[in-house]
């Protein structure tokens, strides 16, 4: 079980089984699970939300989970495309992460993005569902995004204030120091890999005060590279990930164009066994 002396978030387990029976996740690539591919299921991703749902489903009967998140979406697109469908599913637990794709764009205003975020939270919280929101990660550890650290900090303070006003639970990525290490990220240096998604899942379960057996996962040691080898890796990254990202911005395209939600309906959750095809574990619609 999770340690009671966890130094980041006080461990105060729920007095009984958790109260949630229908969980809906909305957002962008972070919530879709990009960077955490399912072995043997081409194009499908697991991610922190799936991992959280698996833990919640194992502890109560009649649990269902939908994930409406789509990679590359800006906050206005998430509001327009996901809020109403999410509310139509009558969830009692909602995770909402949005605005990251807006904040990283040059010239964006974190206060304006936060206003859109607040408008969405007003709608989500009006149903009485438990709403979990996320701060952005502290980007100081990565040269690629270190320059926007101040914008992320401003956005985070807005998120915390919104959460306080509408009684949301905050899953605080900013203080999650474990993932401030490139070994927890995919090769694109933007999305978490399986290690990162696992740590985020642990963080969310702590925030919900849900006991669980998820243990920290240790990354491989950092590879020893000469300066020349490191620069070669940087050049490969720039060619394969940075340049296509910049071109999409210039063309007003998104990685989520023509992508639909991976789990639009609330379904029972079955943990994938090693080698099991993901389609066999989805269950029937409830």
Number of structural domains found in the chain: 2
Q: Is the separation of the CB atoms in 28 and 70 below 8 Å?
A: yes
Do both 77 and 107 map to the same domain? yes
Residues 76 and 212 in one domain: yes
List CB contacts of 138: < 8 A, sequence separation 6 or more: 149, 152, 173, 174, 175, 180
CATH number of the domain residue 75 falls in: 3.40.50.1110
pLDDT score of 222: 64
Q: Answer with the one of 193, 220, 247 that is the final residue of a domain.
A: 220
Planar angle of CA 163, 166, 171, nearest 5 degrees: 30
Mean pLDDT estimate for the chain? 84
> Which residues partner with 277 through β-bridges?
none
pLDDT of residue 232: 62
pLDDT for res 173: 96
C-alpha 242/C-alpha 235 separation (Å) is 10
Determine the Cα–Cα distance for residues 13 and 123; give it in Å rounded to an integer.
28
Q: Does residue 239 share a domain with residue 180?
A: no
Average pLDDT over residues 161-166: 97
Percent of the chain residues topping a pLDDT of 90: 59
Classify residue 267: in a domain, yes or no. no
Residues 254 and 164 in one domain: no
Query: Domain check: are 73 and 178 in the same one?
Result: yes
Who wins on pLDDT, 122 or 248?
A: 122
pLDDT at 142 > cutoff 70:
yes
> Is 87 a domain residue?
yes
Both 243 and 149 in a single domain? Answer: no
Domain that holds residue 134: 22-220
Q: Do 121 and 251 have their domain in common?
A: no
Would you say residue 273 lies in a domain?
Answer: no
Q: Examine residue 17 and state whether it is found in any structural domain, yes or no.
A: no
Tell me, yes or no, whether 89 and 188 share the same domain.
yes
Q: pLDDT, tens digit, for every residue of 62-107?
A: 999 999 999 999 999 999 999 999 999 999 999 999 999 999 888 9
Q: Is 64 helix (H, G, I), strand (E, B) or coil?
A: strand
| Residues 132, 252 share a domain | no
pLDDT at residue number 286: 32
C-alpha distances (whole Å) from 47 to each of 140, 233, 248 are 24, 26, 24
Summarize the confidence of residues 173-192 as an average pLDDT: 89
Q: What's the pLDDT band for 6 if we cut at 50, 70, 90? A: very low
Q: How confident is the model at residue 188 (pLDDT cuts 50, 70, 90)?
A: confident
Same-domain check for residues 236 and 96: no
Pair 67, 32: CB distance under 8 Å? yes
């Amino acid at each position: 079980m999770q340690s009671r002396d966890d130094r980041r978030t006080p461990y105060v387990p729920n007095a009984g089984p958790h109260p949630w029976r229908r969980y809906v996740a909305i957002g962008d690539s972070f919530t879709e699970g990009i960077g955490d591919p399912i072995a043997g299921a081409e194009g499908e991703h697991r991610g922190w939300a799936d991992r959280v749902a698996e833990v919640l489903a194992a502890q109560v009967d009649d649990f269902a989970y939908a994930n409406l998140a789509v990679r590359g979406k800006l906050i206005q697109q998430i509001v327009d495309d996901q809020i109403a469908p999410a509310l139509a599913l009558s969830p009692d637990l909602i995770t909402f992460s949005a605005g990251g794709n807006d904040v990283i764009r040059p010239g964006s205003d974190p206060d304006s993005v936060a206003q859109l975020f607040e408008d969405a939270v007003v709608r989500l919280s009006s149903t009485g569902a438990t709403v979990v929101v996320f701060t952005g990660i502290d980007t100081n550890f990565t040269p690629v995004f270190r320059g926007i650290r101040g914008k992320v900090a401003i956005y985070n303070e807005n998120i915390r204030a919104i959460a306080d006003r509408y009684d949301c639970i905050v899953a605080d990525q900013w203080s999650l120091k474990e993932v401030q290490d490139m070994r927890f990220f995919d090769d694109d240096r933007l999305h978490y890999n399986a290690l990162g998604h696992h740590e985020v899942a642990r963080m969310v379960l702590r925030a919900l005060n849900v006991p669980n057996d998820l243990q920290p996962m240790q990354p491989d040691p950092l590879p020893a590279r000469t300066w020349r080898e490191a620069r070669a890796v940087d050049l490969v990254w720039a060619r394969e990930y940075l340049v296509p990202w910049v071109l999409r911005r210039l063309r007003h395209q998104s990685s989520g164009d023509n992508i639909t939600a991976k789990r639009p309906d609330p379904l029972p959750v079955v943990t994938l066994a090693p080698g099991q095809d993901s389609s066999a574990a989805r269950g029937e619609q409830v």
